[in-house]
Structures are given as structure tokens and as C-alpha cells.
Amino acid sequence: MPGELDPKVYRTILEDLPTGVYVVDLDRRIQFWNAWAERISGHLRHEVIGRLCSDEPLMRCDAENHVLCGSACPLQQTMQDGHMREAHVFLRHKEGHRVPVRVRSIPVRDAEGSIIGAAENFDESRPWPEPRWRRGGKPAHGVLDPLTGVLDSPSTEAYLRESFHAFEEARIPFGVLAIAIDDLDGVWARRGRQAEEKVLRMVAATLSKNLSGAEVVGRWRENRFLAIVDKCPAEALARIGAALRSVVGAAALLWWGDRLSVTISVGGAEAVENDTVESLLARCERALEDCIERGGDGMRIA
């Protein structure tokens, strides 16, 4: 037929779409994985083609970190009833951190209309505005820590003092979360410096992509981060801290065939009248140290 496109053209279109696209057969084995899927997930096509979408490196979970496999899998449901589905889930990046994504699944049919698989597209999902400290992958002002990719310590302190000034002048509430990676020295002792640095990057990426409501997240000390949360009372700080502990606990990276994961301890405090930057940080640090002394993997809001 004149003007009919070669099927290879359709594949090229899918390949170049600025959204993650992959296709599975009825066994949920991946048959196609485009360039944007590589970009979002970090997994190259030769690493995933032929693998099950439920394999651990590709495993997805919901906001409560429940694994979406079997009857809970949107792809599986779409292949069963032929209906399109949309969901907000988390995928595990190749570097280990959790990435929030919006997925849409549709059935793939043959010429007779029988379902022979499913296709899904996915995009990074940020249900809250991108933080003011970062636009288009670059800091609005300040300097990024070269190892972790979040704000460095001096820039984080500058934002903290800026938030405190707004609190003093206009009583705009805010809170602070001090976050420590548990037993990072043990990672270094057992796995080496490269593994320790990978863990730091994994945790930093997980925090920066999943810290709902926070304007700033930065590196504070060697194994610690600081999150500055705008308009956030103590009870909201507790919810955010609990969510961060959960999502970091679900992050994992593959290291020489082993699954390497860590936990975090979180100490938080809300700015109150007569506070200073130093007194606010001191309360956060005491709350954090209390968690660490209790064995880590905990949270306390002062």
C-alpha cells in the first residue's frame, strides 16, 4: 500500500520517545526496552531483555514498599482483562535508590485480537514541585556535593539559616531532620571504600527523590544528611521521617553478587520561639544520637 510505513519505523518511534517504554510477553519476560527506560532506571537493555519484570533488580513496589507481583502487578492485571491501568509505584534504580514513577500499562494483541503480552510506559513522578534548591538537575544556588549529588554542607547550612531568618521575621514554620546511615563504617570495613561511596550515593538519591514536602536536602557530615522541611509541624516531621526510613530500607544495590542495603536513623525538631540555629541543630543531634545509641534504624522527634 502506498505510503505504508515499514514496521521498523514504529520501533524507531518507540525507541526515541521521551518516556520509558517496555514490552513483555505472556510470561512477563521483557522483549523490548527503550533508551528512556535505560535513562530512568539505569538498567541497559542488554541487562534486562529476556528477564522477568519481577526479577529483583527490576522489582517494583507501592508507597508502603509492598512488592507488586502476581495479582497486584498492573501488567499482569492488564494481560488478564485487557484494560489499561495507571499507577504510581517505585522502581529500583541500578544504583540502588528508589525512584517514584507513574506507569501506564496496555495490552498487546495479535491480528486476531488475542492478548499476547503487555506494554508499559513510565516516567519519573514527583507529586510535589521540584525543590527550590534544584532546577533541571542543577542547584538554583549553592554547590552540590561531588560524591552524593545533593547540596554540600556549607550550602545546606546557608539554606538552614535562610529558613531560620524567615521563621524569625514572619513566623514561617519549618523543621529539620538529621539523618545518619547506620553502620557505614562497617560497610567500609567489610566491603571497602567503593562500596561505602556507592551506599552514600544510593541514600542521597533516595532522599532527594522521595523527600515529599522538603525544600532542601544536603550532606551534613561524613555519613549524615540534613533535610530542611518548610511549613512542617512536629507530627508531619514524624510522618516524613518514617517514610524516609521505609524507602531507604527498601533501597539496595548489587555488589559483587550480593544485595547491599542499609538502614538510617532519623532525629528531628521543629523550630520554636527563642530558638537559634545552634539550639535547633542541637535538639536534632540529641534525638539522632538517642536513636543511634538504641541500635539505629529508628526515629525520634525532639
Q: pLDDT tens digits, residue range 123-182?
A: 987 644 455 544 444 455 568 999 999 999 999 999 899 888 888 888 888 899 999 999
Q: Please check whether residue 230 lies inside any domain of the structure.
A: yes
Query: Which of 66, 90, 124 lies at the terminal end of a domain, its last residue?
Result: 124
pLDDT at residue 294 is higher than 70: yes
**Beta pairing partners, 175:** 229, 270
Q: Are residues 119 and 19 in the same domain?
A: yes
Q: Are residues 266 and 144 in the same domain?
A: yes
pLDDT at position 91 is 87
Domain that holds residue 11: 7-124
Q: Please check whether residue 211 lies inside any domain of the structure.
A: yes
Q: Are residues 159 and 70 in the same domain?
A: no
Q: What does the alpha-carbon distance between residue 12 and residue 21 come to, in Å, rounded to a whole number?
A: 12
Weakest mean pLDDT among 33-37, 39-43, 133-137: 133-137
Q: pLDDT tens digits, residue range 229-260?
A: 887 777 788 888 998 998 898 888 888 888 88
Q: Please check whether residue 165 lies inside any domain of the structure.
A: yes
pLDDT at position 48 is 92
Q: Are residues 180 and 209 in the same domain?
A: yes
The CATH code of the domain that includes 77 is: 3.30.450.20
Q: Are residues 138 and 279 in the same domain?
A: yes
pLDDT top residue among 44 and 60? 44
pLDDT at position 5 is 63
Q: Are residues 112 and 204 in the same domain?
A: no
Q: What does the alpha-carbon distance between residue 181 and residue 129 come to, in Å, rounded to a whole number?
A: 26
Q: Are residues 140 and 36 in the same domain?
A: no
Q: pLDDT tens digits, residue range 177-228?
A: 999 999 999 999 999 999 999 999 999 999 988 876 557 899 998 889 999 9
Q: Please check whether residue 21 lies inside any domain of the structure.
A: yes
Cell of 245: 526510613
CB 224 within 8 A of CB 179: yes
Q: Are residues 109 and 145 in the same domain?
A: no
pLDDT top residue among 84 and 59? 84
Q: What does the alpha-carbon distance between residue 216 and residue 226 come to, in Å, rounded to a whole number?
A: 8
Domain count, the chain: 2
- Most confident stretch, 6-20, 46-60, 65-79, 131-145: 6-20
The CATH code of the domain that includes 239 is: 3.30.70.270
Q: Please check whether residue 129 lies inside any domain of the structure.
A: no
Query: Which of 99, 124, 149 lies at the terminal end of a domain, its last residue?
Result: 124
Q: Please check whether residue 1 lies inside any domain of the structure.
A: no
Q: Please check whether residue 20 lies inside any domain of the structure.
A: yes
CB 151 within 8 A of CB 218: yes
Q: Are residues 156 and 254 in the same domain?
A: yes
Percentage of the chain beyond pLDDT 70 is 89
- At 4, the pLDDT band (50, 70, 90 cuts) reads low
pLDDT at residue 85 is higher than 60: yes
pLDDT at position 99 is 85
DSSP state of 77: H
Cα–Cα distances (Å) from 71 to 21, 68, 121, 129, 166, in that order, read: 22, 8, 19, 32, 49
Q: Please check whether residue 2 lies inside any domain of the structure.
A: no
Q: Are residues 268 and 169 in the same domain?
A: yes
Q: Is residue 187 packed enough to be buried (19+ CB in 10 Å), middle (13-18) or exposed (0-12)?
A: buried
pLDDT at position 135 is 45
Q: Are residues 88 and 211 in the same domain?
A: no
Q: Are residues 114 and 29 in the same domain?
A: yes
Query: Which of 73, 95, 124 lies at the terminal end of a domain, its last residue?
Result: 124
